[in-house]
Amino acid sequence: MYKKEKFRAVLGFVLCQTDETMEYNTRIIGNKFENVDFRFTRISMDSKLNKKTYKRMEKNIAKGSNMFNSNTIDVLSFVCTSCCFYLGIENVNKKLLQGRNNKDNKLRSITNTAEALLKAIKKMGLENIALLTPYINELNEIELDWFKKEGINVLNYGIMELNYDRDISKVKKEYIIKALEKLDDDNIEGFVISCTSLRTLQWIDELEKEFNKTIITSNQAHLWYALRLSGIKERKKGLGKLFKKY
């Protein structure tokens, strides 16, 4: 007789159509947290990353949320840092909840990447940071405004001005290191590397040792926050100070 496996937590992620990184990063995390299930849906979007694309995506968030089976998800979230900052954290969470039609008894929490990133920065006690993003300037300015509103001082920042997820996911570790070197100074307490398409999760420990500063990335923060919201509290090595200490 088939026996359904009981997971400690089931985390559901609504991904952008062009995302090439988050599923890869959840496999890294999944190897460290036993008996946690990660599930995904995707929503359609234009390939070019800008305000118009994100505005058109807004109506699709609820559709993506609705694709999960009822009463199967503990924590549900939308994955895209700049889109969440542009559409608004509370608005994105509202769209996710609309897609569930209030039928879930199991669902514990709703979140998104921008919210998780801010929660991680504050949990680490960072007030003065350097910010690195792959975005064009119109999206970068939105994120800078959010940090200012939240009392986070962005002392230095760098942008790559990339327009497509497929290009962002190809950024090499050597480029990230050189970019951080340009942003580093004695006044910053840590680096924030923004964007779920950047493949930086597996390099965080190495970067923290090299620069002797905290590193927070979008996918690291998102997965950390989703796990904590689900009730899973184990601290783990190899994923940066955020997972090791909090």
Q: What is the pLDDT along the chain (246 residues), one digit of tens a residue?
A: 445 568 999 999 999 999 999 999 999 999 999 999 999 999 999 889 999 999 999 999 999 999 999 999 999 999 999 999 999 999 999 999 999 876 678 899 999 999 999 999 999 999 999 999 999 999 999 999 999 999 999 999 999 999 999 999 999 999 999 999 999 999 999 999 999 999 999 999 999 999 999 999 999 999 999 999 999 999 999 999 999 999
Residues 22 and 142 in one domain: no
Residues 13 and 106 in one domain: yes
Contact 131, 192 (CB under 8 A): yes
What amino acid is encoded at 244 in this protein? K
What amino acid is encoded at 63 in this protein? K
In a domain, 246, yes or no: no
User: Running DSSP on this structure, what letter comes out for residue 169?
Assistant: T
CB count within 10 Å of CB 190 equals: 20
Residues 28 and 80 in one domain: yes
Q: What domain range includes position 146?
A: 116-219
Contact 48, 164 (CB under 8 A): yes
What six digits make up the tokens of 72?
């199967």
What amino acid is encoded at 110 in this protein? I
User: Structurally, how many domains does the chain consist of?
Assistant: 2
